[in-house]
Amino acid sequence: MKKIGILGGTFNPVHNGHLALGEAAMEQYGLEEVWLMPSKLPPHKSHFAILSEKHRLAMTKLAAKTNERFVVSDFELLREGLTYTADTLELLTKEYPDCRFYFIVGGDSLVNFFSWRQPERILELAALLGAGRAGIGEETINAAAEALRKAVPGAEVGIVQLSDYPVSSKEIRKAFFTGEAERVRPFLPEAVYRYLMENRLFLKVTYDELDAEMQRILPRKRYLHTVAVAHLSAAYAAACGLDPEKALLAGILHDCAKAYTDEALLTECERCFLPVTEVEQRNGFLLHAKLGAYYAKERYFITDGEILSAIRYHTTGRPGMTDYEKIVFLADYLEPFRTQPTTPALDEIRKIAFSDLDRAVFLALENTVNYLSAKEQEIDFTTVETYEEYKKKMRRQ
């Protein structure tokens, strides 16, 4: 039987850590080849900035040239619909009856292997190799491997001894997006680095990518609101001589953390070490602005402070708001699909916003504060402070 390793992944981009894992598996388990198999987009993960199959495959081919025993397989890419490992192995074992497949996964996957689809079937069809990972701990991984061997008689489960690779694909993308591509160059096969540079990939976060991601993660109505805010923000920016592109990006991301319940927002903020005030404890939804700015930076690689603060303060405003903050705050309140039954003055403010940002912000704040008071809802201290500042400002005019 010919021993073949299968190393699947999104490979966005493929890096030396993937190759090191493949090579370690070859050496430690006597594999003749390792097939690098780029996968389709996993439905549950973020699709943001995932390159086309064409690019991911091309880079994997370049990476495979570093070792003659690497083979690139487009087996998963060529299949229709969702691809589950069990199905892939079912087909592979039929097509290559004289091969024994060694399916290589990260150590974390070994630990939660029973959450995969048809784990027992996978273990019947192929051997499973998990990468040892310092982050998880040798004992945990060994125990997981032992549990799998016990669960399926005859299952072959092994561990690939390998120290943690210092970077991930995500960190590589981040470095590219933030202009630090050179720093991660040593972690990529040189040909892959050149490919990314020559094709200008991961150089800039585009509106279209963010739009597609919001469409994917937000409910339909919220998505339409978001797009309306993005475009209205851009229009305000143009009217004020500011950069419409920046306003557009702030607008499309302003509610990117809105698809959570109040409770989930609290947990998520804690997980991300974001401070939570007492008012926010009681009114969890306020946190979507803070968490949204955090996601914009960490997930969507936005580095522009003016874009980030426009997202951060879009719900409460703040004293001394910047123009971009005012723009997104207003667009959020005034976008044409937004209906606020309690605010007949909305159309009036809509007109004013194009010529006098400050007056429009004042009126929006006044309405919000009145509305919340009438409904006996707690008002955030920042909202109150901002309102007070604007009242003074308006008296001076």
Which stretches of the chain bind Fe ion, using CB under 5 A? 255, 332
In the numeric block, the tokens 């804690």 are attached to: 270
Residues 79, 98 contacting (CB under 8 angstroms): no
Question: Cβ of residue 356: shortest distance to Fe ion, in angstroms?
Answer: 22
Shortest reach from residue 346's CB to ligand DGI, in Å: 13
Using Cβ positions, the residue closest to ligand DGI within the complex turns out to be: 380
Q: Which of Fe ion, ligand DGI, none binds 316 (CB below 5-8 Å, type-dependent)? A: ligand DGI
Residue 18's binding partner among ligand DGI, Fe ion, none (Cβ under 5 to 8 angstroms by kind) is none
Instruction: Measure the CA–CA gap between 248 and 258, rounded to whole angstroms.
Output: 18
Using the minimum distance from each CB to Fe ion, give the nearer residue, 76 or 255: 255
Q: What share of the chain is helix, strand, coil (3-state, %, to 5)?
A: 60, 10, 35
Rounded Cα distance, 121 and 86, in Å: 6
Contact of residue 380 among ligand DGI, Fe ion, none (CB under 5-8 Å per partner type): ligand DGI
Q: Cα–Cα distance between 395 and 397 in angstroms, integer?
A: 5
Distance CA 381, CA 386 (A): 9
Helix pair angle (305-312, 244-253), 10° resolution: 40
138 binds, among Fe ion, ligand DGI, none (CB under 5 to 8 A by kind): none
Q: Which is nearer to ligand DGI, 12 or 383 (CB)?
A: 383
- In the complex with ligand DGI, which residue's Cβ is closer, 39 or 383? 383
Q: Nearest distance from residue 396's CB to ligand DGI, in Å?
A: 24
Q: Which letter, b or e, does each residue of 9-42 get, where b requires 16 or more Cβ atoms within 10 Å of its Cβ?
A: bbbbbbbbbbbebbbbbbeebebebbbbbbbbee
Residue 259: C-alpha distances to residues 105, 253, 263 (Å): 31, 12, 12
Binding site for ligand DGI (CB under 6 A): 225, 255, 258, 283, 314-316, 332, 368, 372, 377-380, 383
Between residues 133 and 254, which has the closer beta carbon with respect to Fe ion? 254
Cβ distance to ligand DGI smaller for residue 118 or 277: 277
Q: Which does 383 bind (CB under 5 to 8 A by kind): Fe ion, ligand DGI, none?
A: ligand DGI
Name the residue nearer to ligand DGI (CB basis): 199 or 370.
370
